[in-house]
Structures are given as structure tokens and as C-alpha cells.
Amino acid sequence: MLLQLRPLFMGEISSMPIDTELDFSKESFQGGHPFETPVKVQGTVTASADVVMLRAEIVFTFVGECDRCLRRFERNYRLPLERILVDQLHDDENDEFILLQQYQLQLDELVLAEMLLELPYKSLCREDCRGLCPLCGKDLNDGLCGCKPETGDPRLQVLKQLIK
């Protein structure tokens, strides 16, 4: 979605509402397509004292597969988004400013980048997920499997035989 912000920069209007849904269902992340439902973005772009400010909230549902037990899970997110929009930039190091080309903001790219930065590196269905048994593959969240746990590192079995 391309926002035309020229009227804000030229002083013709003082604010522009944003209320949209973006479709990221084709975007891939960690081998899957985690954004099955539309992403809602609500907020405003305001111009005040020669400063154009974007303030919005991103609401989305992340659908993933747990890295420990392989269960499918959903997690809801609400992200605040606040950036200063500029048509020329003197300090390239500041992430608070977004440089616009021809007074246009590509909202899709900005929202997707914010969402991906918020997602955890490791996807877990819950914080205390116990994962799968390394011997039989049973989901340990459903209870113990009865396998006798191996003690020690299997690479050190040769040393154990020397002790015997």
C-alpha cells in the first residue's frame, strides 16, 4: 500500500488517518507462511511544526510450528509503530527517521519489517515446552514416554568401555 503524503508535507492538511488490512499470506518465514490472516494497521500521519509523524498500531496473528515439539500454534501481537517521516535525510544512522521518495511511503514494506523484527528467533508453542523424546519421538508435553534416558554423551562410550 502506497501512501501519498505530499499534502502533509506541503501543509495542505494536518493529518491523515490510516485504517487498513494488509495481506502477507504469501510471505515466508522459517520455512512456512505464518501470516494467514490479514494484518491490521490503524493510526494517523500528522504534520505539526514541520514534523511529519507516523503513529500506528500493527495487529497480527503469527501461526507457527514449535521448534521443540512440532505442534502448530498461534500467537497474537500488538506492535506500536512510531516514526518521523522526512523528505531529506542528513543523518543516515538514525532508525527513527524514514526517508520518503517523492513524498510516498510504502506502508507494506515498513509493516512487514517491523513484524519480522518482533518475532522471536526460536518459535515455541509455550515457554515451558518439553519437546520430543530423543529416543521414541513422543511429545513430552503429553506425559512421559517410559524410555530409559541415556546418561552421558554417546561419543564418550568408548571411554566408558576402557574403565570397565
Give residue-wise pLDDT tens across range 145-164.
888 766 677 787 787 777 76
pTM (predicted TM-score): 0.77
What pLDDT is recorded for position 97? Answer: 82
Tell me how far apart the alpha carbons of residues 77 and 137 are, in angstroms, rounded to a whole number.
31
Query: Coil, strand or helix: which one is 100?
Result: coil
Which has the higher per-residue pLDDT, 123 or 94?
Answer: 123
Q: How would residue 86 be classed by pLDDT, with cut points 50, 70 and 90?
A: confident
What is the C-alpha R_g of the chain?
24
Q: How would residue 22 be classed by pLDDT, with cut points 50, 70 and 90?
A: very high
Q: How would residue 85 be classed by pLDDT, with cut points 50, 70 and 90?
A: confident
Give residue-wise pLDDT tens across range 100-140.
888 888 899 999 999 999 988 888 999 999 999 888 888 99
What pLDDT is recorded for position 91? Answer: 63
